[in-house]
Structure 1
């Protein structure tokens, strides 16, 4: 990807050029706003970094001018001004992000990656195509589980093709995207890089035409029959809800009855039912509070704060019910959650429908004496005990997941107060961190973002486990450094498998 850096500080330009080049970016530089404008008028860039204070044409005015001329390229402003008014001026000029000098290089790189992801068709940091896997956060690349040893240009070429996997890239496009303007490479350079990249992919097990040639047009990724990646591709580490038997015709034989539960699994099911019996009344109390809020809505006296509290209750209830495998009740709670979102203006006419939803939810919860049989986790056969730290503000969920993971052989620590996160993290020293997305005081997204700027914890595997299954929330999680994202509800066996898969991948990448 090609970046333009505009700054009148010679030393900063040199240092950043070297640092960004290491990250596989092609860098053009300019020392003032006028030169920057000339570059942008001549070349196409994936990102523009502007210093605010520069001679001839400052960064804010250049940013305004670019936006007035219809340029949509992401713009990041660099400045020593940390005041609210200075930042507001930058936002109003059309900037996409604002970084204050002196800055942490790792933070700047993370911001750049996030901006570049948001501006591309596929905004996710994990890119896949068949058995090819690229992690743009770490620069790691694998094919069929085998590590690829790529040069910076080979990696950048592969990333560009994965970002827009339906596009045929001409030699000119590749040259413009991957080489700085002063490099002046020939088209033969592109052919050479493509040939070497093909050889490395083939050596790892890829077909010879994995990167195919459209004669007279350019290069593209060949479609792979049965590839798991659609367009745009979903990250490989997100559990996507499977189609139900009402979505597709039944053309396969009836499944065999499940194998009988082991003694350990029976003990787990018993424990889960005991936990449900302890918390069923609490769930019904939450429904009662929701019904009270609906009653206030019917009387046109539901305050904004009460609506926000009702939304929080419905959200927590959704996660709890999903954890216990009560999927129908969870869906009702999710529907209530969506209907009473704090951003929505509610009218008394909506109370009747909400009242019916809460009544049905109360009936389902109160009639559930024994939980439906779900996949109970098996004990792990791994020799080394894995330490798991789980952060979630729902104590019922924490209690349930503690038993799920402990039954699978993990050493589990739970935390329901995110404000004690750092102290607990240091004490626990986990091998894997599980985070909820939405929590009071500080969200899981904020914790993950801060974790990635801490040298001691930058490489700790972080998995989000959340009731939010939408693509936007998943993208936000990956943009702040998540390694995996799982949507509640999830069975104990699924969660155990995903944790072990994540640890295997960490071991593979660490060599």
Structure 2
């Protein structure tokens, strides 16, 4: 957990910071109110401890400013002023608790633990997940009643997951919660600590406590499987039927793209691969890598990506490798489509998945702010399979889909419809998605429209171009329904909340 300590008494501040670090908190220190405000804007703190008498910006005004900026986590006022009126002023300013100096370090620690319990809506001071327990007051970890020794950062990681059992934490988010500004490492350090924590948990008998959600981060694995949910089972059945129906509809066009790849391999083997054929095969491989995963052919998407990379150079000495990839892809497409998590004996060793790559997040419910809202999403992609999948997917979640295969027709649709979000592909004929995004951002009417990219391109320079052009978010193809629906809801909700905050208040 990460704490911001704002106090101009350097000696006291250092003492408090050292003590909190010994309790496995990450601590940042600010010596005046303005610095405290800057820190609070730069990081996501689980709790802020404020002195009232601060230079530049006093603690009461800083507390009010934080609440006005919608900082919702606990604020603890720490001050030498003990008058009741001072306490009332502090609590009215938005503080959650008030502690008078001088106080003992143990009392401060207890108040902090109590406030963090409120943050996690936990009634018990002990954090539990099955037979795994953490006692924050003593920093002790047990499994099946036996002590489990952990390093300070391993302890902090486990505490973070147990305090937020439903949340997925990215590597960046973990860094923000558990490391202070002075010693922030890279994300590889997070992976190392996760690996070591898992090893110690497994050694103690606690298996699969921390789940890797591929492409998103880490979360606490539920201690046992929940009873089957009839609604979710019905949704899975509906999703399976829709995926099979879409595959039957687009099976022949997909196999035609595969034939294009096979023709390119034959031409390369003969020593004469025309540039036009290479470019055509390259485009087909790119489209296959983007759409096959949605039909359940995740290995097919990986194979297509590898074929695309090989075709970029198309060196004669690569013909054997390229031929093997194309043969493996045809074998993959001879199998029936399957949903994420459904197993099927492979015909060959599949390319390795990243750790936890099979984990799929549950599709979300609509956010409360969007529960009754009619939503429209305009999707622009020259791949008909992608568009058909999106239309089926969006309709299932009560979102009206608007589909375009020609990016040049976007302006005509925007004149007639008012979409809540725009989905773009990068590579499209006539006008690529990045240039279209720039045009929309420069338009007086549509410059605030949320834009989500769906692209098979993962190169860092392409991702940078997406965000530089004005994209709000991007999802890599092949994508999953939970991931896309979650991003859509989050972006629309954020856009509407920002629009609400920007409205002038009525007086």
If the length of structure 2 is used for normalisation, what is the TM-score?
0.53
5 Å-filtered alignment, 1:281-360, equals 281-341=252-312, 344=313, 346-360=314-328
Question: Displacement, 1:267?
Answer: 2.8
What's 1:504 paired with? 493
What is the match of residue 83 of structure 2? none
**Alignment of structure 1 residues 361-372 onto 2, 5 Å:** 361-368=329-336
Quote the offset at 1:365 in angstroms. 0.6
Q: Is the 2:427–2:433 Cα contact (8 Å) retained in structure 1?
A: yes
1:472 match: 461
Distance in 2 (CA, whole Å) between partners of 1:465 and 1:409 is 20
Q: Name the residue aligned to 2:431.
A: 442
Aligned equivalents of 1:457 and 1:307: distance in 2? 38
SS in 2 for 1:440: coil
Where structure 2 has 5 or more consecutive residues not aligned to the other structure, the ranges are 5-33, 44-53, 77-152, 161-168, 177-186, 210-222, 343-359, 502-507
Aligned residue for 2:172? 230
Shift of 1:426: 2.0
Q: Distance in 1 between matches of 2:287 and 2:423?
A: 17
Go from structure 1 to structure 2 and tell me whether the alpha carbon gap of 1:295 and 1:196 turns closer, same or farther (over 3 Å shift).
farther
Bigger RCO (CA 8 Å, 6+ sep): 1
Residues 378 and 408, structure 1, Cα contact 8 Å, conserved in 2: no
Structure 1 position 300, deviation (Å): 1.8
Indicate if the aligned counterparts of 1:394 and 1:416 stay in contact, CA closer than 8 A. yes
Match for 2:56 among 189, 192, 195? 192
Q: CA deviation at 1:199?
A: 4.5
Match for residue 461 of structure 1 among 450, 461, 472:
450
1:47-76 deviations in Å (ceiling 9; x for gaps): xxxxxxxxxxxxxxxxxxxxxxxxxxxxxx
Distance 2:339 2:42 in 1: 48
Q: Deviations over 1:4-59 (max 9, x none)?
A: xxxxxxxxxxxxxxxxxxxxxxxxxxxxxxxxxxxxxxxxxxxxxxxxxxxxxxxx
Once the two structures are TM-superposed, the CA of residue 282 in structure 1 deviates from its matched residue by: 2.2
Q: Tell me by how many angstroms 1:206 deviates.
A: 5.7
What CA deviation, in whole Å up to 9, does each residue of 1:162-195 have, x standing for no partner? 7xxxxxxxxxxxxxxxxxxxxxxxxxxx973798
Q: 1:246 to 1:321 in 2, by over 3 A?
A: farther
Match of 2:250 among 279, 283, 286: 279
Query: In the alignment, is the contact (CA less than 8 A) between 1:325 and 1:489 conserved in 2?
Result: no
Could you say which residue in structure 1 is the equivalent of 2:396?
407
Q: 1:256 aligns with which of 215, 225, 231?
A: 225
**Distance 1:331-1:192 versus aligned 2 partners, 3 A rule:** same
- Which ranges of structure 1 fall in alignment gaps of 5 or more residues? 1-128, 133-152, 163-189, 210-222, 235-239
Write the distance in 1 (CA, Å) between the matches of 2:58 and 2:441. Answer: 33
Calculate the TM-score normalised by the size of structure 1.
Answer: 0.53
Question: What is the Cα deviation at residue 377 of structure 1?
Answer: 5.8
> How far off is 1:504 after superposition?
1.7
- 1:307 is displaced (CA, Å) by 1.8
Q: CA deviation at 1:434?
A: 0.9
Aligned to 1:481: 470
Of the three residues 380, 383, 386, the one matched with 2:372 is: 383
Q: In the alignment, which residue of structure 1 is the partner of 2:114?
A: none
**Equivalent residues, number:** 315
Counterpart secondary structure, 1:192: coil
Paired with 1:430 and 1:379, the residues of 2 have a C-alpha distance of 20
Q: Is the 8 A contact 1:198 1:208 kept in 2?
A: no
Tell me the distance in 2 between the aligned counterparts of 1:131 and 1:395. 50
**Cα distance, 1:159 vs structure 2:** 11
Q: Deviations over 1:267-322 (max 9, x none)?
A: 33212211112222322221111011011111221123322221111010011102
Picking from 263, 268, 272, the partner of 2:239 is 268
Alignment partners' CA distance in 2, 1:161 and 1:437:
32
Give me the whole-angstrom Cα distance separating, in 2, the residues matched to 1:435 and 1:369: 26
